[in-house]
Chain A
């Protein structure tokens, strides 16, 4: 059942005939009330309408066909979920004994914590509040708008997000902060625009976990956008974990700008969802900035996980390392596109890309494309990508020790992921992610004992 919308007038842009989705976005745009960000939003909307939805002809969308989605008429997802949400129960990535703070966002709408829920060293604002307090500063954090095809949905998010979170990390914070994103649909074709901006002040450090879950039977289309700025010497460990149901579609953009000697460690963990499209764009803008990116992409049933990483070395002596592990079973498909760009002048840049895929069924597919674009001298860039099945020699070795086939296979799958898992500093988050992973493997009971 689609929610009806009011007679959409065609926009003035010279674009080709519009899809139902584009018309519904226009209707949403017209229904929004003006705010201090309107000039920027206006630009974003115009550019989005002009460019239209990405198609498989666009470089980073070759594997994800959005045609079915473009025929839908979207409305805003409700601002509140039906029923209670218990961020500390089964949805949680953290154990009960862990010291951690959590923030809740339902379909992109933040629930601001009570004073006792605050964390020393992290200032928390809603985006509405931030837009009112300092629109110029907020606008600067959202600029520049980009027409790049991997950022297409971000334009729409900028135009249409209603509220969101703005976090300012001002000190060295030991306690992890979990942002629990709950998607809860009304039953129609609804869409949510979660927006998060994180700024890490010079010398600050923190761990932030963005955990995406669904509640109820219907999950809205998620068009989420997170932007992170790391100032000089800032350190941030960031997780985004997708754990929504098989019917969920998620388009998630993460853009990061790193200043001098900042360190960013990022984990992208795709465990759930029907279509998961995470993009990560990092600009290493000043000398000494370092990125460690880990992607753990699990394809299951007929899921499509289409991950795009674009890392730009924009200054000398910057380093980046990307480790991706993809597993595809059943009829799923996992795509990992990663591109490293070394700008002119970014001498002594070092980058490393390691992507390994593991196919667990003959109908599954893994596509990996590591790319390098180097415009500077004296750089060290390495990349490697392999995809295969479980190693028969390893399997036979374990069988020959009496271990049954199911356990041996699961152990090998688990071992395959170890490079990503061991990088995680938050032990409880790692344990929860491992549990969720293991639950998707054949011999889950034995594997639990393994840890």
Chain B
């Protein structure tokens, strides 16, 4: 589904990604772990198409298409979703409107008719209930005045409505209490399906107790230093990230 070959990228003149190689197949959940500043978020943003992040080398294909040649909005319509680490507040643009516009953009690109207003509201209410979100969400601006936890729930809600093929969740677990973490994890798990894939970017292994990954990768200094199965995450938790960096050097 996603194939990254030797990807490097630069932000504000600084090389952040230095040759990433990663393959994610349909049906898989991958976790990308690493210390702060290792390039995890940059990777997520580059994949989603952030323009001020300059790709300096390598290639990325998404379902056989050249992802890097697509604009951010095209990537989204093709089924890629980024759950933001810090979702932005957009006062004046209603949550429901944004979601409806997003869903319709995707449907339009797929040659499907626009969603019926009533049908859409029913869908939203159902997903909101699932994510245990309050009714007030419907009338508020995008993430406006939301707590950190509410913002993360909103990201997962959007994901559930848009049903992406590939979801990249950037530290969706950070800042969540244990109850919110369970809700968010249930949301992500509900999307697991043989035709979809999920990439979890996280600093802590805690999330992986709830969303069990098929593969775990350690990103450090803009490179994937080590890959393994779930036990790698547990080992990292025990031994810290330094262990991987040292092991690599040695």
Chain A residues at the B interface, C-beta cutoff of 8 Å: 391-394, 396-405, 407, 411-412, 414-419, 446, 450
Q: Which residues on A sit within 8 Å (CB–CB) of B158?
A: 401
**B73 close to A397 (CB less than 8 A):** no
**A394 close to B88 (CB less than 8 A):** yes
Q: Which residues on A sit within 8 Å (CB–CB) of B92?
A: 414-419
Tell me the minimal C-beta distance from A412 to chain B in angstroms: 7
The residue in chain B whose Cβ has the minimal distance to the Cβ of A419 is B92
Query: Quick check: which of B29-37, B95-103, B127-135 contacts chain A, the rest being far away?
Result: B95-103
**B72 close to A399 (CB less than 8 A):** yes
Tell me the minimal C-beta distance from B67 to chain A in angstroms: 13
Tell me the minimal C-beta distance from B225 to chain A in angstroms: 28
Q: Which residues on B sit within 8 Å (CB–CB) of A412?
A: 90, 93
Is B22 interfacial (CB-CB < 8 Å)?
Answer: no
Is B109 interfacial (CB-CB < 8 Å)?
Answer: yes
- What 9 pairs between A and B have smallest CB-CB spacing? A415-B92, A402-B76, A418-B92, A401-B102, A399-B72, A402-B105, A402-B77, A393-B88, A399-B73
> Can you sample 27 A-B contacts with CB below 8 Å?
A394-B88, A396-B51, A397-B84, A397-B88, A397-B90, A399-B49, A400-B72, A400-B82, A400-B84, A401-B99, A401-B102, A401-B105, A402-B73, A402-B76, A402-B77, A402-B106, A402-B109, A402-B162, A403-B73, A404-B73, A404-B105, A405-B73, A414-B93, A415-B90, A415-B91, A416-B92, A419-B92
Find the residue from B87, B92, B141 having the highest chain A CB count within 10 A: B92
- Residue-wise interface mask of B (30-54) relative to A, using a CB-CB cutoff of 8 A (1 in contact, 0 not): 0000000000000000001111100
Q: Bound state CA distance, A404 and B97, in angstroms?
A: 14
Q: Which residues on A sit within 8 Å (CB–CB) of B82?
A: 400
**A400 close to B105 (CB less than 8 A):** no
The residue in chain A whose Cβ has the minimal distance to the Cβ of B74 is A402
Q: Which residues on A sit within 8 Å (CB–CB) of B106?
A: 402
Tell me the minimal C-beta distance from B143 to chain A in angstroms: 9
The residue in chain B whose Cβ has the minimal distance to the Cβ of A413 is B92
The residue in chain B whose Cβ has the minimal distance to the Cβ of A407 is B101
| Contact with B76, one of A399, A405, A411, A419 (Cβ below 8 angstroms) | A399
Is B71 interfacial (CB-CB < 8 Å)?
Answer: yes
Find the residue from A394, A397, A402, A403 having the highest chain B CB count within 10 A: A402
Q: Bound state CA distance, A397 and B49, in angstroms?
A: 11
The residue in chain B whose Cβ has the minimal distance to the Cβ of A404 is B73
Tell me the minimal C-beta distance from B51 to chain A in angstroms: 8
Q: Bound state CA distance, A240 and B220, in angstroms?
A: 60
**A401 close to B88 (CB less than 8 A):** no
**B76 close to A400 (CB less than 8 A):** yes
Q: Bound state CA distance, A416 and B142, in angstroms?
A: 13
Q: Which residues on A sit within 8 Å (CB–CB) of B52?
A: 392
Q: Which residues on B sit within 8 Å (CB–CB) of A391?
A: 88
Q: Bound state CA distance, A446 and B104, in angstroms?
A: 11
Tell me the minimal C-beta distance from B171 to chain A in angstroms: 16
Tell me the count of chain B residues lying within 8 A, CB to CB, of chain A: 32
| Contact with A401, one of B71, B109, B162 (Cβ below 8 angstroms) | B162
Instruction: Identify 11 new A-B residue pairs, CB closer than 8 A, beyond the known A393-B88, A402-B77.
Output: A397-B84, A398-B90, A398-B93, A400-B49, A400-B73, A401-B99, A402-B102, A414-B92, A418-B91, A450-B97, A450-B101
Find the residue from A394, A399, A407, A416 having the highest chain B CB count within 10 A: A399
The residue in chain A whose Cβ has the minimal distance to the Cβ of B143 is A397
Tell me the minimal C-beta distance from A393 to chain B in angstroms: 5
Q: Which residues on B sit within 8 Å (CB–CB) of A401?
A: 76, 98-99, 101-102, 105, 158, 162
Q: Which residues on A sit within 8 Å (CB–CB) of B73?
A: 399-400, 402-405
How many contacts A-B (CB < 8 Å)? 75
**A446 close to B101 (CB less than 8 A):** yes
Tell me the minimal C-beta distance from B149 to chain A in angstroms: 18
Instruction: Enumerate B186-225 residues with CB–CB distance to A below 8 Å.
Output: none
| Contact with B101, one of A394, A403, A414 (Cβ below 8 angstroms) | A403
Q: Bound state CA distance, A415 and B98, in angstroms?
A: 12
Find the residue from A391, A394, A397, A411 having the highest chain B CB count within 10 A: A397
Q: Bound state CA distance, A52 and B115, in angstroms?
A: 63
**B91 close to A403 (CB less than 8 A):** no
**A403 close to B102 (CB less than 8 A):** yes
Tell me the minimal C-beta distance from B55 to chain A in angstroms: 16
| Contact with A396, one of B72, B81, B98, B102 (Cβ below 8 angstroms) | B72
**A400 close to B98 (CB less than 8 A):** no
The residue in chain B whose Cβ has the minimal distance to the Cβ of A393 is B88
Tell me the minimal C-beta distance from B139 to chain A in angstroms: 12
Q: Bound state CA distance, A403 and B71, in angstroms?
A: 11
**A415 close to B72 (CB less than 8 A):** no
The residue in chain A whose Cβ has the minimal distance to the Cβ of B45 is A396
**A415 close to B76 (CB less than 8 A):** no
Instruction: Enumerate B138-195 residues with CB–CB distance to A below 8 Å.
Output: 141-142, 158, 162
Q: Bound state CA distance, A392 and B52, in angstroms?
A: 10
The residue in chain B whose Cβ has the minimal distance to the Cβ of A415 is B92
**B49 close to A411 (CB less than 8 A):** no
Q: Which residues on A sit within 8 Å (CB–CB) of B48?
A: 400
Find the residue from B71, B101, B109 having the highest chain A CB count within 10 A: B101
**A398 close to B91 (CB less than 8 A):** no
**B93 close to A411 (CB less than 8 A):** yes
Q: Bound state CA distance, A393 and B158, in angstroms?
A: 17
Q: Which residues on B sit within 8 Å (CB–CB) of A418?
A: 91-92
The residue in chain A whose Cβ has the minimal distance to the Cβ of B77 is A402
Tell me the minimal C-beta distance from A284 to chain B in angstroms: 30
Q: Which residues on A sit within 8 Å (CB–CB) of B90?
A: 394, 397-398, 412, 415
Tell me the minimal C-beta distance from A158 to chain B in angstroms: 42
Q: Which residues on A sit within 8 Å (CB–CB) of B97?
A: 450
Q: Which residues on B sit within 8 Å (CB–CB) of A411?
A: 93, 101
Tell me the minimal C-beta distance from A402 to chain B in angstroms: 4
Tell me the minimal C-beta distance from B136 to chain A in angstroms: 17
Q: Which residues on B sit within 8 Å (CB–CB) of A404?
A: 73, 105
Q: Bound state CA distance, A405 and B49, in angstroms?
A: 13
Find the residue from B52, B75, B88, B91 having the highest chain A CB count within 10 A: B88
Q: Bound state CA distance, A404 and B102, in angstroms?
A: 9
Q: Bound state CA distance, A417 and B92, in angstroms?
A: 8
Q: Bound state CA distance, A281 and B96, in angstroms?
A: 41
| Contact with B98, one of A393, A403, A405, A416 (Cβ below 8 angstroms) | A403
Q: Which residues on B sit within 8 Å (CB–CB) of A400?
A: 48-49, 72-73, 75-76, 81-82, 84
The residue in chain A whose Cβ has the minimal distance to the Cβ of B106 is A402
Q: Bound state CA distance, A415 and B162, in angstroms?
A: 23
